[in-house]
Each structure stands twice: as structure tokens, then as C-alpha cells.
Chain A
Amino acid sequence: MRIDCPNCGERDRREFYYQGDAVVLNRPSEDAGAQAWDDYLHNRANPAGETRDLWFHEGGCRAWLVVERNTMTHAVHAATLAEKVKR
């Protein structure tokens, strides 16, 4: 598995740390309530197919990336800087 980092180009999966579903970018406000925090921390769509998740280019530029990937085939389609996705 290789990920095409926008800063560094295509790199081996070993250089990256996996965080989980990109839902973790949408941190709820402090007073959003128990359900919103439960959804943020625990509950997942967990798709069998296309997914968006968050990876850290630990062994490279150290940027956080949103990676579009297929969980059935392990094919990686795109990687975007998380700071661009957030805005």
C-alpha cells in the first residue's frame, strides 16, 4: 500500500501512522451533548468500500492527510492535506 502525499509524493505505507475515520476532524463543541461526543469518539459508519480516513506522515513531512481509500481492495485514490479539508 502506497500513499501519494501532496508534499512528498508517493510513499510506502510504513511512513504513515493511521488515526481512524476522518470524522475525527469534526470535533464537536464542548456543549454539543453526549450524543455528539459519542458519535465523534466511538460510533463509525465503518464502510465496506470507499472511505475517508486520517493518516499522519510521521516518517516524512509530518503533515496530517485525509486519505480516500477502498477498504475492500486497499486501493488508495487520493490524499489531501487535512488543513485544506477542514476549512
Chain B
Amino acid sequence: MKWFDYSAPSSLSEALKLLRENSQALLLAGGTDLLVQMRAGRKQTDLVIDIKNIAELNQLVLDASGLRLGAAVPCYRIYNHRDIARGYPALSDVASLIGGTQIQGRASIGGNLCNAAPSADAVPLLIALGAICRIAGPSGERTVPVEEFCTAPGKTVLKQGELLVSLHLPPPKPHSGAAYLRFIPRNEMDIAVAGAGVSVELNNGNFQSVRIALGAVAPTPLYAKQAGDSLAGKPVNDACIQTAAELAKAAASPITDMRGTAEYRRHLCAVLTARALKQAIQRAQEAK
């Protein structure tokens, strides 16, 4: 790695000032993407800004307004949090399937999102859960729905001088549930061939509202709006689930690479969407 300087500001304003003064600076959360990319020569900088000492980026607050998840909170803090396991079990699932134990000691959901890999495991679920990104920058704060955050592989809506502060998840509705499933050839420690995140809200045996998002089958994590909307008002049965799964499959535009062919990935979209819907439905039925 080329020489760089290191700074670990303890406040958001200090971090924003450093970002303003150093247009080439790179932000370090858990470093499980950044340090790998810098070592491989894919990224270079004169200044690394460690954002883990900033209170707003470390918050993990669950209350009546939902969940405020600081961008730098590492995965283990999420899956070790009992109330998150209860209120957002699918988020606990995702935090415990990114990497292995050591990676989870460092890797953050904010980093997963900002790295903007098409295969990032947390992102389809965040889209399904309707997460909102809180962004701070030179001209103040703004919010962006998570489905609009990634714009291309490795690219996001963040402008010069901006950083992601936190993700806000709405409180779980009654009779709702969510799930994320990915396909990898082994049991753990691999990059998704395809992934599906879903959330459902039920009402007397019918779907009230559904959100479906896919991973690793488009240049960015993909919000399959039509597929989810197709279920609104429909009865909860296999035929409706299959229709939505086919719509999800039709929304995908995967590529062929060493992990799988485009055709196989399309097939996986339907299979994973249907399975994730069934798991989310079960969670919704068990929820009070």
C-alpha cells in the first residue's frame, strides 16, 4: 500500500471538515472491503479517515420510531442485540451471514452499503425493510431511500464531502415479517450467486403490502417493486407467491461469471424469492 496518513475524528463535524479539506480521503469503517481493495491497488489515498469514533455512526437505538443503526456499527453488535433479534430477526440473520466470526467483529452494514457491490448481502434486506439513509455533507443533511443509494457497481449517490451517518428502519408493523436468503455453493464465507430480501405485511389471510429486492442479479441491488406490489390484496397462497417470484425473476438482469450463468441466476431469483416470502409469511403469522 502507498503511504497514507490516518485520522480518527471523534465528531461528525470534524470528520466532515477533514473530508472537505481532503477531496481524495477515504473513509474507514470495519475495513473489510477498504483495506482489501487498497492492498490490491484498486484504491489509493493520502488520507484514511477512521469513522468508528463518531458517536452518531455507532448508535444502535431501538424505540417507537424504529431502529437507528449507525453506519459503522459492526455486525456482531447487531446479532447480539436481543431486541433486534425480536423486532428485526432478518437483520440479525444478515449480520450473522456476512463473512465469518472475525469479519463480523469489524464489518458494518453501512460499509456493506457504501461499498456498493451488486452482491452486498445486507442491501436487498434493507430495501425490503424500507430503510432510509441519513447522509451528512457540506451543505447539511439529507435522506435517501436505500433503494436509490447504489447507482452502479462501487458507486453511490454520495457526493464529494458526504458520508453516510445512519440507517433508519421503520418500526415493525403488526403481522409483518421479513427474510433474506442467498445462494452460495458452500454453507458460509462466500459471495452470493443471487440473493432475495423480502418483507410482508399481512391482513386477515391476505397480503397487505410486500417489498421484494434482489442481490447479485443487476449492476446494483435491485428493488423489484412490481413483484412486491403484485401481491397487495391477494390471498396468501402458493399460486400468488409463485406469480410474484416469476415477476422478480423477470426484473433481474444478471450477468454470467465464474459464480453462475445469467440463466441460473434468473432461476435462483424465483426460487429464493418464493422461499424468502414463505419464511417472511411464517414470521408475520407468528408476530403479534
Asked whether A and B interact, the reply is no
- Interface residues in chain B, defined as those with a beta carbon under 8 Å from any beta carbon in chain A: none
- Interface residues in chain A, defined as those with a beta carbon under 8 Å from any beta carbon in chain B: none
